[in-house]
Amino acid sequence: MGMLSIDFFGSYSPVGDVIVLGTCFVFAVLMHNAYISDSDAYSLFRRIIFVLYLSANFSIVFHVLLVRRETVPHFFLYLFLILYHVSLYLQLLLYIQYMKMPLRMNADTFKHMVIPACIAFGVCTLYEIIAPITGWGFYITENKEIHEGFNFFPVGYCYFVLTIMYLLIAYRKRVYRQVINGIMFSTLISFLILLLQIRNDNSSFTVASYLFPAFAILYMIHSNPYDLEIGAVDALAFEQIIDYANKRGRKMLIMSLLLVDLDIEGKEYPEAIKDAVRRFAGEYFKGATLFQVSNGRLFLVVDMSKNPSYEQIINRMLNSFDEEYPKYKLDYKIIITPTMDRIVHGKDYIGLIHYAESGTALDTVHIVDETDVEEFLKHKYILEELMDICKKKDLDDPRVEVFCQPVLNIETKKYDTAEALMRISLRDTGRIFPDVFIPMAEEHGLIHQLSLIILHKTCERIREMMVEGYNIQRISINISALELRDDDFCKDVSEVIKSSGIPFGKVAIELTESQSESDFRIMKKKILELKENGIKFYLDDFGTGYSNFERIMELPFDIIKFDRSMVLASNADEKSEKMVSHLAGMFSEMNYSVLYEGVETDTDEEHCVKMNAKYLQGYKYSRPIPLERLTEYFEKDVS
């Protein structure tokens, strides 16, 4: 017997191919009902399964025709043998093409592998076509006998398998080791099964052997199981499905539900909520997928082309939600947005929904509009620029600007201190004020680097003014309490001041009072450490919100800044004026200097002077000006 015996009907049983057909149906059902992120790789994998299904059919038909060769035109025998072998080659070629994505091969490397594979596929296909004609391979003689000839299939099979194994070995470090091991092991098992078939003159499991790599790829690469209790998949899967849909031009609808009380890591959903989530996710939209983006945040993603009446469905769904809400009474925010051309990536839709939530009241529904998108894109741009500033760590970064507000010294009637104020100036947005970017910087851990830039630029300006002979006591810098948690905070601040060559006492740090016990202990430790170098400290915004006198007394501040609200209160009536005055007097007696900020009128000034003011700051004296203009207010030392 020659090598062709692996295709001879006498050693063939259809059981292997029937198993393949059944398995392909199972694959189809699983891929339809299980959640698997759409991608180019997954699209290619579906083609592999489809061609595998065709191969099993071609194999069965060929072997049935073979046993009936005496009554069947030989052309059909040859046709289905060609289709059978070519479909097997095609699967292997598709496997090679598939490897590009998980192995992250660049275009040039991929070309060098796939072009020879395509040529090999063409050669194998050509041989299968001409073999019966030339008599080189399988054909049926005039007296209905089988001529075996040379079976080229094992040669082509070995080439493709060796190419796949080479790719897996050569690029193994680009993929998680267990994934590579799983695919390599399954490919090796397939190869061994074919070798055993050849040795035992059997061809029943030729197509079935192709199932093993398919199982490995589906499980190791495309597996993304549901949460069994609420039926959701994770945030990464959401990003993948949105990215793929945008790439394919498919419009999706995203409905976000934030359950505020449950958005805590590890917080368990009540059983009634789990039941409600499952019901709402599967009852209204056709083919909708539920994603759990955070513990209490759920996204329902709907293909709008499959749900043309989605607007009516949304209204019906929200009406049902309103009817059921009294049962649970959990605070929520619902955000609804379609995908749009201006936002491409899935992670940006997560950001858009977060941004929309920040401006949405509790227990309300908000539908994203163009204004939301415009504001979000601006927010995103600013955040990206802040991240870039902090990544580059350039203390002279021109995007970070220093403004300042001169402070009047009541005793000398001169300006000898000032407060440094941060601004961000960007190409696409112009100048941005702190109320916009400070919360963003604090939320994303960027604020410390921005403070170091302001500190550096302020120190450099102080040094220049000292060289020019200006009388300058100090300039204060605002520092976020979050920065104090950084172990290197004191070292970073000291290094910047020291590198500028100015005395440490020329710099002051403004802090707002901490409300938590742990932050209070950290603040006290950092203040004491930096005061040893001579740095002054201001308690900022006294009179706003929470104030604990015991803690204030425990912290060695030098100056207490009374907020403008205290200035306004003192103007309201005599009782308020006495209260503010007594507070300021108490601080003065304990050797704290009192600075009133927000002074705008002569009346404000008169009240503050009577209320034990040491320093005054506000629009009456100057609006914030560029740091370079501070010399317009400060005087040179004539002594």
**Residue-wise pLDDT tens digits, 580-603:** 888 888 888 888 999 999 999 998
Q: What is the pLDDT of residues 605-638, one digit of tens each?
A: 988 998 899 999 999 999 999 999 999 999 988 7
pLDDT classification of 138: cutoffs 50, 70, 90: confident
Instruction: Supply the pLDDT for residue 144.
Output: 74
Instruction: Supply the pLDDT for residue 5.
Output: 36
Q: Extract the runs of DSSP E, i.e. beta strands, from 199-348.
A: 232-234, 252-259, 289-294, 297-303, 332-338
* For range 498-515, the mean pLDDT: 91
**Distance (Å, rounded) from C-alpha 317 to C-alpha 323?**
10
Q: What is the pLDDT of residues 459-471, one digit of tens each?
A: 999 999 999 999 9
- State which amino acid sits at residue 400: V
Reply yes or no on whether the pLDDT at 188 is more than 60.
yes
Indicate left, alpha or beta for 100 from its phi (over 0: left) and psi (-120 to 50: alpha).
alpha
Instruction: Supply the pLDDT for residue 546.
Output: 56
Instruction: Supply the pLDDT for residue 7.
Output: 41
Q: What is the pLDDT of residues 263-293, one digit of tens each?
A: 988 888 888 888 888 888 888 999 888 999 9
Instruction: Supply the pLDDT for residue 209.
Output: 85
In contact, 175 and 102? CB cutoff 8 Å: yes
pLDDT classification of 124: cutoffs 50, 70, 90: very high
pLDDT classification of 519: cutoffs 50, 70, 90: confident
Count of Cβ atoms closer than 10 Å to residue 214 Cβ? 21
In this structure, of 245-249, 362-366, 497-501, the range with the lowest mean pLDDT score is 245-249
Tokens 């063939």 locate to 12
Instruction: Supply the pLDDT for residue 220.
Output: 67
How big is the CA angle at 578 (ends 577 and 580), to the nearest 5 degrees?
65
pLDDT classification of 170: cutoffs 50, 70, 90: confident
Reply yes or no on whether the pLDDT at 8 is more than 60.
no
**Distance (Å, rounded) from C-alpha 17 to C-alpha 61?**
11
Instruction: Supply the pLDDT for residue 192.
Output: 86
Instruction: Supply the pLDDT for residue 639.
Output: 58
* For range 176-204, the mean pLDDT: 79
Indicate left, alpha or beta for 507 from its phi (over 0: left) and psi (-120 to 50: alpha).
beta
Instruction: Supply the pLDDT for residue 3.
Output: 33
Q: Which residue has the higher pLDDT, 455 or 588?
A: 455
347-352 long-range CB contacts below 8 Å, 24 or more apart?
A: 347/239, 348/380, 349/238, 349/242, 349/254, 350/235, 350/238, 350/239, 350/293, 351/376, 351/380, 352/376
Q: Extract the runs of DSSP E, i.e. beta strands, from 230-284.
A: 232-234, 252-259
CA dihedral 224, 230, 234, 237 (to 10 degrees): 60
Strands 625-626 and 400-409: antiparallel
pLDDT classification of 226: cutoffs 50, 70, 90: low
Q: Dig out the tokens for 71 from the structure.
A: 């009554």
Reply yes or no on whether the pLDDT at 1 is more than 70.
no
Instruction: Supply the pLDDT for residue 414.
Output: 94
